[in-house]
Structure 1
Amino acid sequence: MSVLSARDRHLVGRFSYGVTPALARDVRRAGGGAAWFERQLSPGRVPDRAADRIRRWWPSLDRGPTDLWQRNVKEIEGGWEVMADYQRWVLLRRIHSRRQVHEIMTELWEHHFNVPVNGDAAFTWRADFGNVIRAHAIGRFDQLLRAVVTHPAMLISLDNVSSTKQFPNENLGRELLELHTVGRAAYDEKDVKASARILTGWTVDMWQTFRAEYDQERHSRGRVKVLGFQHRNARADGREVTREYLHYLAHHPATARRVARRIAVKFVRDEPSPELVRQLARVYLRNNTEIRPVLRALVESRAFRKSVGTKVRDPGEDLVATYRALGVQIARPPAGDRGDSYAANQMLWQVAGLGITPFAWPRPDGQPIDNASWASPGRLIASMSMHQSLAGGWWPKDGAHYRRPEAWLPKRSIRFDDLVDDMSRRILHRPATPRLVEACCQATGCRQRERITADHALVRWQMPRLLSTMLDSPAHLTR
């Protein structure tokens, strides 16, 4: 089986949830990794109907906030249940979507603008919040910032719904500066207070309809100054000053550096060079905060080309990549308790066993994207257990179709080392190294030149060991 070039594999692997034979075919049809990447930057050009249909499996993801709240109050469907379905949906979408760059960037910004799915009341707007981020994920950062900071889910999560001109709540105003834009070193407490005053008025009709509102009676009027931003703020309707303030923050050089560094950490290494960050920040500012040119500059950089094997997959990436590598087919779960045992639902508990479920990070700083947070011995052992379970098709069983052991044989009789090479090309998308062949020999007890057929003990009993050896390798555990 042919594989992508090392350079294309690095690019596609870093900007996807795992190279598969189908993805490799898409890359070749596009004319190579660079052409595939450019097409991915316009996700509307990439048909994705199969992934789109999966959302219908959980109808409540498209219910309005009032309906969701009433169903929660009447104990028809708890908010936590809807959020669990949202987490399952994002995992399945990452497995099946052909818009892999779009999925990666959506996740990156959902962590950056973190609204935990387990937060009280925010569940009424949380799926819509994800939709908004998805719509702006590869667009302009200033538009993304405005859309998410004034979104009802963010207003609820960071308590702006209780902020008034008499008692401004500083949570959102502070995190906007510290986490979302310029960073802690750039501002002082006077800036935080002014930031909070600017954002008064943005609220939600809590505990009744949960409709988004702008309440002019709550808005704190009067001159404001945050960093280099100044405004008379004389009107009762403060939405204009909010828009101008967020535009200023998005275009601030400190924000440019933070956005550039975040992208470099995600796609290059935990400690990107200052030169790379400065270069990406310049591109960001020159292009009116547009993210596409930043990503293009990143993948064309020497630092990116030299970063092969430097990024550890986090738990969600590991689970998704494993399902993709094994080609597990997942069926729609039936409604009600009967569907609880189905793989589409059970995968949420699988990823929980690795350390974190999607968007459940409890603090506003969002789930870490560095290696150190996900490279512990405990995490490795948990991943190895998950790999073995899926390699054997042992759990989950319902609603999952696994490849039969004999289906991994490319022909009726094959030498063991050639089988390892063929499987490595399918699962890891690279030729087997001597080290991998030796590891597979030790794991299965097979000799390199031993002939393997469908009735061989390897195929009958030990295929999970062979598969999990590949899944446990650094080639699978890194992006």
Structure 2
Amino acid sequence: MKGETLTQKLHLLWRAGFGPALEQIPTIDKSSIKDLYRSLTKPQKFQPVNFQKPEQPTEDAYNPMDNAEKRKQTQKLNRSQNLDLNIDFMNQMILSEAQLNEKMAFFWHGHFASRSVNPRFSKQLLNSIRRHALGNFKDLLFAVSQSPSMLNFLNNQQNKKGHPNENFAREVMELFTLGRGNYTETDVREGARAFTGWAYNKQGEFIERKNQHDTGEKTFLGKKGNFSGEDVLHIILEKKETARFITEKIYKFFVNEKVDEARVQELSSIFYQANYAIQKLLDSIFLSDWFYEAQHIGNRIKSPIELMVGMMRIMPMQVAHPENLIDYQRLLGQMLLYPPNVAGWPNGKAWIDSSTLMLRLQMPQIWTGLRPMDYDAPLDDDLDMGTKNKNSNLRQFKNPQIEIDWNQVNDTFKGKKLVDYILQSPNKSVQKVATRFADEGIKMNMINLMSTPEYQLM
């Protein structure tokens, strides 16, 4: 690209990642967009997310127990391990140099929305998504569809010959692949028959229960045959509508919620002809000139996770109680591993209401110790599995004890115009605010810029 601007480079870092890390700031001006993109996509050794707490023996985790106290302990451990996964996933977003892989995993985490009280299931699904995030959509679809977390969440464990459960088949088509309007109720019924017998064992491994599979002929998306679940997924992938549906959703997430139909159709053809190679599709977006046009910059409201992770990348911090970050996720409406339903989280203006906007604007001051936390830590009995009490961690939540290395921040931004690195589309009024606070030093200037409505955009 000719005449690449700092705003365009930051646009790439925010969309293909979670914003610039503090250590990237000194080299952004000298780097081309292609250089930055290569740094975001540089292959890294895969680091799986994991628990801090020890795993239980398989029999304790899955067998019914007649001991009430033992059941309570298991529930507590399961909850604790799921919170560990949440924090570890967030840390990968903050610290990993493979930013595009983690951003794409974040996207797929919302696309293939699932939740499980069983932390082993959660870990297996999340690592499958992260491992296939930039690979082939076909491999990703099969991995997710055969994961115990998804099979359990969508009730396919109860899908048996003679008594089909249509939930799994319906959501696979409606939300994961084809989209509404591209299949019929007959396809749902016949697809459900094909998925009969798909299940998992006590170890959380995918199995096919042959005696529960419907072996009769099925008619699915215009084809007839004795189809299995794998056959159904292959037939779905043969449909160009699947490539179109996935491409449009990726376009809305990475480019613009206002869809350019011709552009999406062009990208969809590339995706389909590349046999669903995810990296190929993303290259076609991020290495194009049109992606960096003004109408695509600063037009997206950051999701709660993007907001929090972005702040933590640009302000290196030590968090004494990282579990409290999950309370912020709850308050802002996006808790990792816990989507509201199988459709995932909403986007855009749905992130903003009177309470969430106020907390968003105050977070830079709260996290830097300039104002108290005036919100109660939310409680969720469904998530806490009956273990909640009256804000036992409220004192820690109100005082998160976050230490920020302001010396490193000051050294990094010395001699630089801070507003150009913090805001994507600074208007004249914000420029005046930045000028007014510039004399107060980099720390106060950064806090004030992050407390503006414009910082909510990327």
Into which bin does the TM-score normalised by the smaller protein fall?
0.7 to 0.9
1:359 corresponds to 2:311? no
**Aligned-residue offset at 1:435:** 3.6
The structural deviation recorded for 1:409 is 4.8
Deviation at 1:6, TM superposition (A): 2.9
- Structure 1 residues 426-445: aligned runs within 5 Å: 427-428=422-423, 435-440=429-434
Question: Structure 1 residue 136 and structure 2 residue 159: aligned?
Answer: no
Q: TM-score scaled by structure 2?
A: 0.82
Alignment counterpart, residue 424 of structure 1, candidates 409, 419, 423? 419
2:314 to 317, 325, 328: 325
Which of 402, 405, 410 is 1:403 aligned to? 405
Query: Residues 25, 69 of structure 1: CA spacing in aligned structure 2 closer, same or farther, 3 A cutoff?
Result: farther
Q: Which residue of 2 aligns with 1:349?
A: 327
User: What CA distance in whole angstroms lies between the structure 2 residues aligned with 1:365 and 1:133?
Assistant: 17
Cα distance in 2 between the residues matched to 1:246 and 1:384: 44
Task: List aligned pairs for 1:273-284, cutoff 5 A.
Answer: 273-284=260-271
Contact 1:39 1:46 in 2 (8 A): no
* Partner of residue 387, structure 1: 364
Aligned to 2:383: none
1:240-259 to structure 2, matched below 5 A, reads: 241-259=228-246
1:470 aligns with 2:452: no
Instruction: State how 1:23-62 maps to structure 2 within 5 Å.
Output: 23-24=24-25, 32-38=32-38, 40-41=40-41, 43=42, 45-46=43-44, 52=47, 55=49, 58-60=52-54
Inter-CA distance 142–25: structure 2 relative to 1 (3 Å threshold) = farther
Q: Could you tell which deviates more after superposition, 18-27 or 145-154?
A: 18-27
* Aligned match of 2:275: 288
Q: Compute the displacement of 1:441 (Å).
A: 6.0
Q: 1-side partners of 2:57 and 2:286: how far apart? A: 39
Per the alignment, do residues 466 and 24 of structure 1 end up closer, same or farther by CA in structure 2, a change over 3 Å counting?
A: closer
**Alpha-carbon separation, structure 1, partners of 2:447 and 2:301:** 18
SS at match of 1:186: coil
1:238 corresponding residue in structure 2: none
Q: Tell me the SS of whatever aligns to 1:80.
A: helix
Unaligned runs of 5+ in 1: 234-240, 331-341, 412-417, 453-457
CA distance 1:383–1:253, change in 2 (3 Å):
same
Normalising by the residue count of structure 1, what TM-score does the alignment of the two structures yield?
0.78
**Does 1:156 find its partner at 2:152?**
yes
Cα deviation 1:319-375 (Å, max 9, x = unaligned): 111112222134xxxxxxxxxxx332111112222122113222111112x312123
Match of residue 6 from structure 1: 7
1:63 positional shift: 6.5
SS class of match (2:332): coil
What secondary structure, in the 3-state scheme, does the structure 2 residue paired with 1:78 have? helix
How does 1:216-227 map onto structure 2 within 5 Å? 216-227=210-221
The 2-side partners of 1:352 and 1:419 are apart by 36
Change in Cα spacing, 1:214 to 1:409, as seen in structure 2 (3 Å) is closer
Give how far 1:251 is off: 3.1
Show the counterpart of 1:297. Answer: 284
* Equivalent position SS for 1:130: helix
**Could you tell which deviates more after superposition, 355-364 or 96-105?**
355-364
Kindly state the Cα deviation for residue 73 of structure 1 after the two structures are TM-superposed.
3.0
CA contact (8 A) 2:315 2:409 kept: no
Structure 2: runs of 5+ lacking an equivalent: 374-396
Q: Which residue number corresponds to residue 338 of structure 1?
A: none
Is the deviation greater in 302-311 or in 179-188? 302-311
Q: Percent identity?
A: 21
Q: Are the structure 2 counterparts of residues 25 and 65 from structure 1 closer, same or farther at C-alpha, using a change threshold of 3 Å?
A: farther
Aligned with 1:222: secondary structure?
coil
Which amino acid counterpart does residue 298 of structure 1 have in structure 2? I
Asked if 1 retains the 8 angstrom alpha-carbon contact of 2:248 and 2:259, the reply is: yes
Number of aligned residue pairs: 422
The residue identity in structure 2 corresponding to 1:214 is E
Q: 1:20, 1:426 within 8 Å by CA — same for their partners in 2?
A: no
Q: Identify which range, 386-395 or 293-302, moves more after superposition.
A: 386-395
3-state DSSP of counterpart to 1:93: helix
User: Aligned-pair distance for 1:28?
Assistant: 7.4
CA contact (8 A) 2:187 2:220 kept: yes
AA matched with 1:281? S
1:119-151 CA distance string (max 9 Å, x none): 4x5544111101111111111111111111111
Does structure 1 residue 96 correspond to structure 2 residue 85? no
Structure 1 residues 157-186: Cα deviation after superposition (integer angstroms, max 9, x where no partner): 000001110201100011011111111101
1:203 match: secondary structure: strand
- C-alpha distance in 1 between matches for 2:168 and 2:254: 28
Q: Structure 1 residues 438, 388: CA separation in 2 closer, same or farther (over 3 Å shift)?
A: same
Q: Distance in 1 between the 2:26 and 2:434 partners? A: 27
Residue 200 in structure 1 maps to residue 167 in structure 2: no
- In 1, the alpha carbon distance for the partners of 2:59 and 2:302 equals 38
Alignment CA distance shift 1:474-1:167 (3 Å): same
1:431-468 residue CA offsets vs partner (Å, 9 max, x unmatched): x87643522466x6xxx7xxx6xxxxx57xxx875433
Instruction: Flag the 1:176–1:303 CA change in 2: closer, same or farther, 3 A.
Output: same
In structure 2, relative to structure 1, the CA distance for the partners of 1:423 and 1:66 (3 Å cut) is farther
